[in-house]
């Protein structure tokens, strides 16, 4: 019997991927300011990582002005941003690649300095992120997280509508699909989890009510794109941004089972061992494996990410735990990652200091194999 590998083709919705090395969504904070529109440098970065029939999931992009929590993050709520993204998408398509956009709202993982009118960030409930975690203001000064303002029930439809509009803007920009960011302690996950959601209306309380916000957003986005071009990202057992459900299994089993009949393009996990990899080097021990736990429940295409090497990725696919593997940090430093993995070539190490913000350095100057390393 022939087991599938990273280099077996894969059908994802209407798209035939030629390989299963997916580029994970990666916030890089290098959009144009103040428009927060992607610029030519961003198009070059994505084009470098595009391969014929390879899937890129572009970085998380807020669907409304109140959805930002980091400087220089590209949005998907203005004409200028749609135009900027259009150039990114065209550059990826010119190389035969596929590109989805990740739709984002950070909720309480923001600071009033990012908010229109300097208002408090919004969240399901007025529960702040732990004081042990620090953030930065819009002009880069260290700050504590504030206590967010709990959304009124009547405001929630407006946020669902912003996701619908963001999805529609992504379509105008020419993307091949969209991914809903339901992971890493951001707004959707704040609704899902009981520590951050103390609501007593129909968006809080039991699991079904806490999942309602995600489901309404997913249905709205499907209304724009059709289910086969929509993915959802979740991070069960994750702890990023002070997230974490005491007993994740009932919650996430319900979510996965509710998503099952929709016919999504894929479900995308962040493996708990890599939770928080955006902030620091992590390798959490003795944590469950999301793909192993949820594969038996999820009926569709499963993508997962978190500390994979070519070898462990191939094993996960051959063992049937996942259909494709998303790579984050090593895709930053290896623009030709699919080729390196297929040929067993050595990898260039990444430089965490240049992950967020800046220009070419640590962004578009990583070499393809055989070129000289940057000075």
Ligand X SMILES: Cc1cc2nc3c(=O)[nH]c(=O)nc-3n(C[C@H](O)[C@H](O)[C@H](O)COP(=O)(O)O)c2cc1C
**Length of the chain as a residue count:** 375
| Listed residue (246, 239, 187) closest to 213, CA to CA | 187
Q: Which two tokens stand for residue 346?
A: 């050595």
Cα 296–300–305 angle (5° rounding)? 80
**26 binding ligand X? (CB under 6 A):** yes
* Beta-carbon count within 10 A of 116 CB: 9
**181 binding ligand X? (CB under 6 A):** yes
Nearer to ligand X, 69 or 204 (CB): 69
**75 binding ligand X? (CB under 6 A):** no
Measured between alpha carbons, how far is 62 from 85 in angstroms, rounded to an integer?
13
**234 binding ligand X? (CB under 6 A):** no
Which range touches ligand X (CB under 6 A), out of 21-29, 168-176, 195-203, 251-259? 21-29
Question: Binding pattern to ligand X, positions 100-129, x when CB under 6 A?
Answer: --x---------------------------
Cα 76–210–102 angle (5° rounding)? 20
Cα 64–68–73 angle (5° rounding)? 105
Please report how the helices 212-225 and 153-172 are oriented relative to each other, as an axis angle in degrees rounded to 10.
30
Catalytic residue among 46, 145, 186, 366: 186
**245 binding ligand X? (CB under 6 A):** no
Which range touches ligand X (CB under 6 A), out of 120-128, 256-264, 287-295, 299-307? 299-307
Counting Cα atoms < 13 Å in the Cβ hemisphere of 256 gives: 25
> What is the CA 139 to chain-centroid distance, rounded?
24
User: Which residue is nearest to ligand X, using beta carbons?
Assistant: 328
Residue in the block written with tokens 């390879």: 54
**273 binding ligand X? (CB under 6 A):** no
Which range touches ligand X (CB under 6 A), out of 130-138, 209-217, 259-267, 323-331? 323-331
**183 binding ligand X? (CB under 6 A):** yes
Catalytic-residue membership of 186: yes
Which range touches ligand X (CB under 6 A), out of 33-41, 157-165, 219-227, 324-332? 324-332
Show which residues are catalytic.
Answer: 186
Which positions touch ligand X (CB under 6 A)?
24-27, 59-60, 102, 181, 183-184, 233, 270, 274, 277-278, 305-308, 327-329, 355
């Amino acid at each position: 019997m022939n087991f599938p590998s990273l280099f077996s083709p894969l059908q994802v919705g209407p798209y035939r991927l030629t390989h299963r090395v997916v580029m994970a969504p990666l916030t890089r904070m290098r959009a144009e300011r103040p428009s927060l529109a992607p610029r030519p440098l961003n198009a070059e970065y994505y084009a470098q990582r595009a391969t014929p029939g390879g899937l890129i999931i572009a970085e998380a992009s807020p669907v409304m002005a109140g959805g930002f929590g980091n400087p220089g993050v590209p949005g998907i709520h203005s004409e200028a941003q749609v135009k900027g993204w259009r150039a990114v998408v065209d550059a990826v398509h010119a190389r035969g690649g596929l590109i989805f956009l990740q739709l984002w709202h950070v909720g309480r993982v923001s600071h009033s300095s990012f908010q229109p009118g300097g208002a408090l960030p919004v969240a399901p409930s007025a529960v702040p992120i732990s004081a042990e975690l620090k953030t930065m203001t819009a002009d880069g000064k260290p700050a504590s997280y504030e206590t967010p303002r709990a959304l009124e029930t009547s405001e929630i439809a407006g946020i669902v509508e912003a996701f619908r509009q963001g999805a529609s803007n992504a379509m105008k920009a020419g993307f091949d699909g969209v991914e809903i960011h339901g992971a890493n302690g951001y707004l959707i996950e704040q609704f899902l989890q009981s520590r951050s959601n103390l609501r007593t209306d129909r968006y809080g309380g039991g699991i079904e009510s806490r999942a309602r916000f995600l489901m309404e957003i997913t249905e709205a986005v499907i209304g724009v794109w059709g289910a086969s071009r929509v993915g959802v990202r979740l991070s069960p057992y994750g702890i990023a941004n002070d997230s974490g459900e005491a007993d994740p299994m009932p919650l996430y089993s319900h979510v996965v089972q509710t998503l099952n009949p929709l016919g999504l393009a894929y479900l995308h996990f962040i493996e708990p061992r890599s939770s928080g990899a955006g902030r620091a080097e992590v390798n959490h021990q003795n944590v469950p494996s999301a793909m192993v736990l949820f594969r038996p429940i999820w009926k569709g295409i499963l993508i997962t990410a978190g500390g994979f090497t070519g070898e462990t990725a191939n094993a996960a696919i051959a063992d049937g735990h996942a259909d494709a593997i998303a790579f984050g940090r090593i895709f930053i430093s290896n623009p030709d990652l699919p080729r390196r993995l297929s040929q067993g070539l050595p990898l260039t190490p990444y430089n965490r200091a240049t992950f967020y913000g800046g220009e070419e350095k640590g962004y578009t100057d990583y070499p393809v194999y055989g070129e000289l390393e940057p000075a």
